[in-house]
């Protein structure tokens, strides 16, 4: 047989994880003019788009419009989507090795990072990832409860864009929420929540905050919430001041400091809710009997450590009452059994997207990775395009070198037959389009972009209407 990538023997690639990285990688492989390719994109959910559907905040519809680009990828002849297929349940890694020349892992970083402080697991203290999944109708989180009815003060830990998203969602008013594609089950709960104050804790200073300018600006533009920043909190320490004035400082940090300084100078206008942004503050302990009752905060100072400013505990303590804590200190990857994993980084062990057998070891032939599970949870959606390019360039160069898997059964029907044999109720892209259409239709009478299904069974019912899900 000729080398893969020719019309007689097309390159067959399985991509696992249908988020932005999976779609960008699929697109780049299919569009390579020198390679005839067929790409099968798998996801454990019946729906594609990963964090664009399950992570991006409901009030950010513009960011979600990137799915139009992914729809164009899906329209290519060499592309197939297999939703509702879980690796380890419906297909094993060995199955992919038997059917594809290459496997590309793009399943993201789904788990939350832990704080490692006492009380972290008390009812009332939750990972922001779960809260985000809940309000975005992710089936894994649809049944969660956060005790919003009994909470007056919420504390959000972390200074990234996810912290900004959850803060906004707690502060948006009912009319603002009802214009979005937020999960139906979340609207009434958020609307009837007793939250009056949201305290956001940054462990370092305003110049080190991880959020970006539009996100911190939005916090100051909320209809229902005033923003409070203590002027002492935005007074930079000498090292941060010198850095922010230097050429090394990035514009995002400089503008963040300007915006926060403005907030510190403005007077609250007696809106019903208050957002308090605090800096140099780390959670030390979450206290409570049955549920969260308070949080102990440690005051930090910044110290230079290997070229960057790190937070160091001063020993000063303060306890504030609160009923809800949302920990938003980043995501981490979950290992896939049989795929080499870097526990420290929470990523698949890889060099520039080529999966490695061990630290500094050989490339595992035919296995690749892209996106958050390759580099960690950083950057915006578009960052994954460049990241996928690096991986796909290596994959295509390995095609040229003949360094790929040698599948026993590379025919395109074989994987469908195997899934049918195993009674896997997979959803094709046209099955997803039925779900999409049904959601948009449900939204129309309410002038909402869509009303999402939050249960897998509901999605499968719609996808299988007028035929099986795979058609």
Which residues of the chain form contacts with ligand NAP (CB under 6 A)? 115, 157-163, 165, 203-204, 208, 210, 215, 282, 328-331, 377-380
* Positive/negative CA dihedral, 350, 354, 355, 361: negative
Shortest distance, position 324 Cβ to ligand NAP, whole Å: 17
- Give CA–CA dist 341/462, Å, rounded: 37
Q: Considering the complex, state which of residue 80 and residue 385 has its C-beta at the smaller distance from ligand NAP.
A: 385
Q: Considering the complex, state which of residue 249 and residue 393 has its C-beta at the smaller distance from ligand NAP.
A: 249
Shortest distance, position 367 Cβ to ligand NAP, whole Å: 25
- Give CA–CA dist 55/160, Å, rounded: 14
Q: Considering the complex, state which of residue 126 and residue 426 has its C-beta at the smaller distance from ligand NAP.
A: 126
Supply the DSSP string of 292-335, one letter for each residue.
--EEEEEEEEEEEETTEEEEEEEEEEEEEE-SEEEE-S-EE--P
Shortest distance, position 56 Cβ to ligand NAP, whole Å: 7
Shortest distance, position 208 Cβ to ligand NAP, whole Å: 6
Q: Considering the complex, state which of residue 208 and residue 240 has its C-beta at the smaller distance from ligand NAP.
A: 208
Nearest 10 degrees: Cα torsion 308, 311, 314, 316: 160
Q: How far is CA 324 from CA 133, 232, 441, in A?
A: 17, 26, 35
Shortest distance, position 252 Cβ to ligand NAP, whole Å: 10
Nearest 10 degrees: Cα torsion 54, 58, 60, 62: 70
Q: Considering the complex, state which of residue 253 and residue 462 has its C-beta at the smaller distance from ligand NAP.
A: 253
Q: Considering the complex, state which of residue 242 and residue 380 has its C-beta at the smaller distance from ligand NAP.
A: 380
Shortest distance, position 245 Cβ to ligand NAP, whole Å: 20
The long-range contacts involving 138-141, CB below 8 angstroms and separated by at least 24 positions, are 138/54, 138/454, 139/45, 139/454, 139/455, 139/456, 139/459
Q: Considering the complex, state which of residue 204 and residue 364 has its C-beta at the smaller distance from ligand NAP.
A: 204
User: Residue 91 carries which DSSP code?
Assistant: B
Shortest distance, position 109 Cβ to ligand NAP, whole Å: 9
- What are the tokens at 347? 């990523």
User: Residue 150 carries which DSSP code?
Assistant: G
Shortest distance, position 274 Cβ to ligand NAP, whole Å: 21
- What are the tokens at 92? 């094993």
Q: Considering the complex, state which of residue 292 and residue 404 has its C-beta at the smaller distance from ligand NAP.
A: 292
In three-state secondary structure terms, 81 is strand
CB 151 within 8 A of CB 169: no
Which DSSP helix (H) or strand (E) runs through 384? helix 383-401
Taking CB atoms, the residue at the shortest distance from ligand NAP is 160
């Amino acid at each position: 047989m000729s080398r893969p990538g020719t019309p007689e023997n097309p390159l067959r690639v399985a991509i696992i994880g249908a988020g932005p990285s999976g779609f960008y990688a699929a697109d780049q492989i299919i569009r390579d003019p020198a390679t005839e390719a067929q790409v099968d994109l798998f996801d454990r959910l019946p729906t594609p788009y990963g964090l664009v559907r399950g992570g991006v905040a409901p009030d950010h519809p513009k960011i979600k419009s990137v799915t139009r680009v992914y729809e164009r990828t899906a329209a290519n002849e060499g592309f197939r989507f297999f939703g509702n297929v879980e690796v380890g349940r419906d297909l094993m890694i060995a199955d992919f090795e038997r059917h594809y020349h290459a496997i590309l892992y793009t399943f993201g970083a789904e788990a939350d990072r832990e704080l490692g402080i006492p009380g972290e697991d008390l009812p009332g203290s939750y990972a922001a990832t779960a809260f985000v999944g809940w309000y975005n109708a992710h089936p894994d989180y649809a049944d969660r409860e956060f005790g919003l009815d009994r909470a007056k003060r919420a504390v959000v830990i972390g200074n990234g864009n996810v912290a900004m998203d959850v803060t906004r969602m707690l502060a948006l008013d009912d009319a603002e929420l009802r214009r979005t594609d937020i999960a139906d089950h979340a609207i009434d709960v958020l609307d009837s929540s007793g939250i009056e104050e949201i305290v956001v804790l940054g462990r370092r200073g305003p110049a080190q905050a991880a959020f970006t300018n539009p996100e911190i600006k939005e916090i100051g533009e909320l209809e229902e919430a005033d923003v409070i920043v203590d002027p002492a909190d935005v007074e930079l320490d000498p090292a941060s001041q010198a850095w922010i004035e230097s050429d090394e400082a990035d514009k995002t940090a400089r503008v963040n400091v300007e915006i926060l300084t403005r907030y510190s100078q403005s007077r609250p206008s007696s809106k019903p809710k208050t957002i308090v942004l605090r800096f140099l503050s780390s959670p030390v302990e979450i206290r409570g009997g049955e549920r969260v009752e308070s949080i102990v905060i440690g005051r930090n100072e910044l110290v230079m450590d290997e070229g960057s400013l790190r937070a160091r505990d001063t020993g000063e303590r303060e306890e504030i009452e609160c009923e809800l804590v949302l920990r938003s200190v980043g995501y981490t990857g979950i290992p896939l059994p049989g795929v080499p994993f870097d526990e420290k980084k929470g990523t698949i062990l890889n060099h520039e997207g080529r999966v490695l057998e061990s630290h500094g070891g050989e490339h595992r032939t035919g296995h690749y990775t892209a996106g958050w599970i390759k580099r960690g949870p950083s950057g915006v959606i578009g960052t994954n395009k460049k990241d996928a390019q690096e991986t796909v360039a290596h994959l295509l160069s390995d095609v040229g070198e003949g360094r790929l898997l040698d599948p026993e059964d590379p025919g395109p029907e074989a994987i469908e037959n195997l899934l049918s044999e195993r009674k896997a109720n997979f959803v094709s892209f046209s099955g997803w389009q039925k779900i999409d259409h049904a959601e948009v239709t449900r939204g129309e009478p309410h002038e909402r972009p869509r009303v999402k299904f939050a249960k897998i069974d509901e999605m499968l019912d719609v996808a299988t209407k007028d035929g099986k899900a795979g058609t």
